[in-house]
Amino acid sequence: MPSELENAMESMIKVFHRYASRDGKNGSLNRSELRELMENELSGFLKSQKDPAAVDKIMKNLDANRDGQVDFEEFVSLVVGLSIACEQCYQMHMKKTGKH
């Protein structure tokens, strides 16, 4: 039986490929696929962004090889960055509540 972390990894892979396959190219997300993924799967993060061009800026930052697509490795960097930010918020919350 898979562990909680293995299930999380599987979910991340499945979500990426669910959106990446919409234009027939399974290995990467184009701008509209990334926008749709973020609107559906990261809506809380997008709502906290005051910049209407946030997805375009994220796309530009993620697209390390500048091919106009976000491959899985580039996508993982987004998930890692958001996870680090969430963990930092979690740590601050734990300090405020006195739980360590």
CATH code assigned at 88: 1.10.238.10
Give residue-wise pLDDT tens across range 45-100. Answer: 777 776 777 788 888 888 888 888 999 999 998 888 888 887 887 788 788 887 65
Write down the pTM of the prediction.
Answer: 0.78
- Cα 30 to its chain centre, rounded Å, is 14
Tell me which residue range forms the domain holding 80: 4-97
How many domains does the chain contain in total? 1
Give residue-wise pLDDT tens across range 13-42. Answer: 999 999 998 877 778 999 899 989 988 998
Return the closest-CA partner of residue 78 out of 15, 5, 2, 6. 15
* Secondary structure (3-state) at 16: helix
